[in-house]
Copies of this chain bind each other. A is one copy, B any other.
Amino acid sequence: MTHGADPFLLQLLVIFLWAKIFGELFEQLSLPAVLGEILSGVVLGPYLTGFVVPSDAIISIGELGAIFLLFTVGLQIRPKELIRVGGSAIGVALAGVALPFLMGFIYLVLRHHPTHEAVFIGAAMVATSVGITARVLEDLRVTHSRPAKIILGAAVFDDILGMILLAVVVGLVSSGSVAWLQLGLLLVEAVGFAVLMIFFAPGVIQRMRPGLERMETHNAPLVLALAICLALSVGAEKIGMAAIIGAFFAGLAFAEYAPEWNLIPRVAGINEFLAPFFFFIMGAKLNLSVFDRRLLIAAVVVSVLAILSKLIGCGLPVLREGWDTAVKVGVGMTPRGEVGLIVALIGLQMKMISDAAYAIVVFMTGMTTLFAPITLRFLYRNQPKTEEAPAYDTGQTIERV
C-alpha cells in the first residue's frame, strides 16, 4: 500500500474547499455565493487551469447534488401556500415563463441555431431562481412588502412551470420527432404528474402515516422521502424525462409534511454537502475558449432578452398595482439559477446543445443573477425596513446561521 490519499477523497476535499472559498468571497462582495461556486469550477476546471479534472465518481456526486437541490426546492413549496398566493402570482408566472422562452427561442432560430438547441436555450431562460431574490429581500428586510409576496409566490409557480416545460422539451427532443400530437401528450403527461404530486400525493402520504409510525427504522419519514426522491428520479428517467424532474415532484409531494417531520434541516445537510460539487462541475464544463466576439454578442443579447422578457412578462400582469410594484416584481423575477443551468447541462449531456450554447446559458445566468440583487437594492433604497421574519425561503437561503 502506498502512502497517499485516495484520489476520490482528495478531489472531494479540494472541490468542496475551493467552491466554498469562492462562494464566501462572493458573499463578502454581496454577490450570490452560487456564482462563486460556479466560478471555482471555471477557474480550477479542465478548460482553464486544469488543476482539477472531475473524476467519474465526482461527476456522479454532482449529479446527486442536482437531484437533492431540486428535491429541496420542491420540499419548500407547500401546496396549501400555492393555493393561497394564487391570483396575481399565477399570471406573473405564466407570462414570465412564456415570454422568455419565446424571445430566447426566436432569437436563436433567427441566428440559425438548430431548433433543438433553440428549444433548450429557451427552456433554460424560463425558471426564476428565487433563492437569490429571496436572499436579497431578506437582507433588505422587505419580505412582507407586496412586491416581495408576489415575487415569492410567482417564483413557486415558475419552478413548477419550468419543470413541466423541461419535461416536455426533453421528451420531445429525445424522441426526435416534433409532432403536435406528441407535444400535447407530453404536456398532458407533465401537467398530470404535477397535479398528481400537488393534490394527490400528500393524501397518499397521509394514509401511509399509521404504517410509518409503526415502522421501527430510525427517521422513517426521512428514509421514505429519500427513497421516493430516488425512485421518482429513476422513474422520470425511465419515461424519458430528466431525473431532477422526478426529484422536484418528490419534494412537492412531501412539502406538506416537511415541517412536522423535520425533513428540511436533514435534507439541507445532504444538500449543503452535495450542491457545491454540482456547481463546481457546472463551471468546469464551461469552455472559455468558445468565447469569440460573435458569441459574446449573442451572449449579451440573450442576457438582455432574459432580463427584458422577465421585466415585461412579470411586470405587465401587475401593472394595475402601480409602476413601482411592476418594476420591482419584474426585476425580482430576473435571476436564473440552478434550474436553467441544469436544463443547459442536460442539453449538453444529450448532445443537443453545443459548448457555445452552453456558454451562452452560463453567461446569461451570471448576468441575470448579478443584475437582480444590485437593481433590487437600488429600487428598495428608500423602503422602511420591517423586522419581521421572512415569509418564504428556498434552496440556498434555508436556515442561515
Residues of chain A touching chain B, judged by Cβ–Cβ distance below 8 Å, are: 1, 3-6, 8-10, 12-13, 16-17, 20, 23-24, 27-28, 33, 56-57, 60-61, 63-64, 67, 173-174, 215-223, 226-227, 230-231, 233-234, 237-240, 243, 261-262, 265-270, 272-273, 350, 396-401
Contacts and interface: CB of A to CB of B under 8 A. Distances in A.
A8 B58 CA distance: 12
A218 B262 contact: no
Contact of A16 (B27, B217, B230): B230
Given A9-B234, A16-B226, A220 B266 contact: no
Contact of A9 (B10, B233, B265, B399): B233
A3 B239 contact: yes
Nearest to A226: B273
The 8 closest A-B pairs by CB, nearest first: A266-B269, A27-B216, A269-B269, A5-B237, A57-B60, A13-B230, A5-B234, A1-B174
A399 B273 contact: no
Contacts of A217: 20, 23-24, 27, 33
A227 B17 contact: yes
A231 B396 CA distance: 24
Q: SS class of chain A's interface: helix, strand, loop or mixed?
A: helix
A273 B219 CA distance: 11
A350 B27 CA distance: 43
B20 A227 contact: yes
A234 B272 contact: no
A231 B398 CA distance: 26
Contact of A231 (B13, B28, B273): B13
A218 B267 CA distance: 15
Contacts of A397: 218
B268 A215 contact: no
A249 B41 CA distance: 30
27 contacts: A1-B173, A3-B174, A6-B63, A6-B237, A9-B230, A9-B234, A9-B243, A12-B230, A13-B234, A16-B226, A16-B227, A27-B217, A33-B218, A60-B61, A218-B272, A218-B398, A218-B399, A218-B400, A219-B272, A219-B399, A226-B273, A262-B265, A266-B266, A266-B268, A266-B272, A268-B269, A270-B270
Nearest to A17: B227
Given A5-B234, A33-B216, A222-B272, 18 more contacts: A1-B174, A1-B350, A3-B174, A6-B243, A9-B243, A13-B231, A13-B234, A24-B215, A28-B216, A33-B217, A218-B272, A218-B397, A223-B272, A261-B401, A266-B266, A266-B268, A267-B269, A270-B273
B401 A218 contact: yes
Contacts of A10: 234
A4 B238 contact: yes
A166 B398 CA distance: 39
B237 A9 contact: yes
A129 to B, nearest CB: 15
Contacts of A17: 227, 230-231
A10 to B, nearest CB: 5
A344 to B, nearest CB: 16
Nearest to A232: B13
A224 B231 CA distance: 32
A218 B401 CA distance: 6
